[in-house]
Structure 1
């Protein structure tokens, strides 16, 4: 499979290693200074670029009939436009806030726990996410996805960083050197706490999931998620 990498930072380099180890070929490494792009050589593109570049990268790939896997966060104001363009061009597109196979299981666990807790009003939910200092957006896309999973299954109406009002989920975002990603959901009452947590040990899990998604999307048309890739129902 011929893969193009949009964004060649730490994640791009890790994806390259994983892809080469799975007998794929990297045909392009597209970064901020790239001026010419040959879409004809690409079977699939993987985007881990910058929030300001993600939608344009998605747009270009869909225009050129290249399936694209996007893991960049912080650009979702344009998500509906990307979905509409994918349908218009009969293309293929996956966006995930986190491609780690374990995190996507954690998303399902989070939603299931939220359903169990929805009528236990004595508990108040809170979230904490910790990432490396190079991460540009806060809270993380993964934390937002987790919050949305809780909101969908409870009476909570939104989320905010730190201080919140009634019906909102507080998210604490911390930036610490060399932390790939830790997400904790805590339900607190006067008598006890219930906590679930996912801790990434390296970026390798994110990179592997993105390559698995790229392998899966070949030959498909539509807008998909990692639930489709992993058959999580």
Structure 2
């Protein structure tokens, strides 16, 4: 399979390494200085670029009939517009805040636990996420996805950084050393605490998941999620 990489930072380089190990070719490496892009050689594009570049990258691919896997965060104000263009061009798209296979199982575990906790008002939900000091956004996209999973299945209405309320999930964000990513969900009462946690040991899981998603989407049309890739629906 021929893959075009949009964004050639740490994640792009790791995706390149894993894709080549799995027998794929990297036919384009697109960054801010790239002037010409050959879409005709791509079977699929993987976008881990920047918030400013992501929407343009993704929609250019759709215009050229190239399916897209995107893990770029911070551009989602344009997400619905991207979906419209994807459908108009009969292309294919998967966006995920985190492509790690383990994290996507964790998303499902989080949603199931939230369903069980609904109505147990003596428990208060909270979340902590820890990442390396180079990560500038807070909370992480993964933490937001986890919070949305709780909100969709309980009486909680919103999440906020470091701020608690009856219908608010407080999220604590920490930036420490070279931590790839740790996410903890707590439900605490006066008598006990229920906790689920995902700890990434390195970035390879994120890159592997993106490549597996690219393998899965080739030849398909439509908007999908990692639930589809992992058959979790």
TM-score, normalised to structure 1, is 0.98
Shift of 1:177: 2.0
Shift of 1:164: 3.3
Q: What number of residue pairs does the alignment pair up? A: 233
Give the secondary-structure state (helix, strand or coil) at the position aligned to 1:151: helix
Please say if residues 73 and 137 of structure 1, whose CA atoms lie closer than 8 Å, have aligned partners that are also in contact. Answer: no
Q: How does 1:120-159 map to 2 (within 5 A)?
A: 120-159=120-159
Which stretch shows the higher mean deviation, 98-107 or 134-143? 134-143
Q: Deviations over 1:37-82 (max 9, x none)?
A: 1111111000011111111111110011000000011111111111
Give the secondary-structure state (helix, strand or coil) at the position aligned to 2:97: coil
Equivalent residue, structure 2, for 1:30: 30
Equivalent residue, structure 2, for 1:71: 71
Alpha-carbon distance between aligned partners in 2 of 1:36 and 1:90, rounded to the nearest angstrom: 24
Equivalent residue, structure 2, for 1:19: 19
Please say if residues 2 and 43 of structure 1, whose CA atoms lie closer than 8 Å, have aligned partners that are also in contact. Answer: yes
Equivalent residue, structure 2, for 1:88: 88
Give the secondary-structure state (helix, strand or coil) at the position aligned to 1:174: strand
Shift of 1:136: 2.7
Structure 2, gaps ≥5 residues long: none
Shift of 1:113: 0.3
Give the secondary-structure state (helix, strand or coil) at the position aligned to 1:215: helix
TM-score, normalised to structure 2, is 0.98
Runs of 4+ in 1 over 2 A off after TM superposition: none
Give the secondary-structure state (helix, strand or coil) at the position aligned to 1:65: coil
Alpha-carbon distance between aligned partners in 2 of 1:222 and 1:109, rounded to the nearest angstrom: 26
Alpha-carbon distance between aligned partners in 2 of 1:36 and 1:164, rounded to the nearest angstrom: 49
Alpha-carbon distance between aligned partners in 1 of 2:211 and 2:25, rounded to the nearest angstrom: 12
Please say if residues 162 and 172 of structure 1, whose CA atoms lie closer than 8 Å, have aligned partners that are also in contact. Answer: yes
Q: How does 1:1-233 map to 2 (within 5 A)?
A: 1-233=1-233
Give the secondary-structure state (helix, strand or coil) at the position aligned to 2:54: helix
Shift of 1:166: 2.8
Alpha-carbon distance between aligned partners in 2 of 1:174 and 1:80, rounded to the nearest angstrom: 30
Q: Deviations over 1:100-136 (max 9, x none)?
A: 0000000000000000000110000000111112223
What is the CA RMSD across the aligned residues, in angstroms?
0.8
Alpha-carbon distance between aligned partners in 1 of 2:97 and 2:222, rounded to the nearest angstrom: 18
Structure 1, gaps ≥5 residues long: none
